[in-house]
């Protein structure tokens, strides 16, 4: 596994169990297919705090960052 993928997986370890579940499912289906650019985008998104991420992934609020919206949708569907 590439160093970038390892960094993304490490950063995706969250304090909220619900987010861990979403990310684990997403990675099981998509991690190997993500490009370096997509991994960098995901890594950038993972700098957001858990509460905000949970609002977006849980569908309570729309993500305000345009380049993250398709990623959030994919995580929800995983």
CA atoms within 13 A on the CB side of 5: 10
Over pLDDT 90: what percentage of the chain?
A: 76
Report how far residue 54's alpha carbon sits from residue 36's, in angstroms, rounded to the nearest whole number.
24
**Coil, strand, or helix at residue 35?**
coil
Taking the domains of the chain in order of start, what are their residue ranges? 3-77
Question: Is the model's pLDDT at 78 over the cut of 90?
Answer: no
Q: What is the pLDDT of residue 69?
A: 96
Poorest-confidence range of 12-16, 36-40, 41-45?
Answer: 12-16
Average pLDDT over residues 18-43: 92
Q: What is the pLDDT of residue 12?
A: 86
The angle formed by the CA atoms of residues 46, 48 and 54, to the nearest 5 degrees, is 90
Question: Is the model's pLDDT at 15 over the cut of 80?
Answer: yes
Q: What is the pLDDT of residue 1?
A: 64
Q: What is the architecture, at CATH level 2, of domain 3-77?
A: Orthogonal Bundle (1.10)
């Amino acid at each position: 596994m590439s160093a970038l993928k390892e960094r993304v997986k490490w950063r995706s370890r969250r304090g909220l169990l619900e987010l861990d579940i979403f990310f684990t499912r997403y990675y099981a289906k998509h991690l190997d297919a993500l490009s370096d650019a997509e991994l960098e985008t995901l890594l950038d998104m993972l700098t957001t705090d858990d509460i905000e991420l949970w609002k977006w992934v849980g569908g309570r609020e729309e993500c305000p960052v345009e380049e993250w919206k398709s990623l959030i949708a994919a995580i929800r569907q995983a």
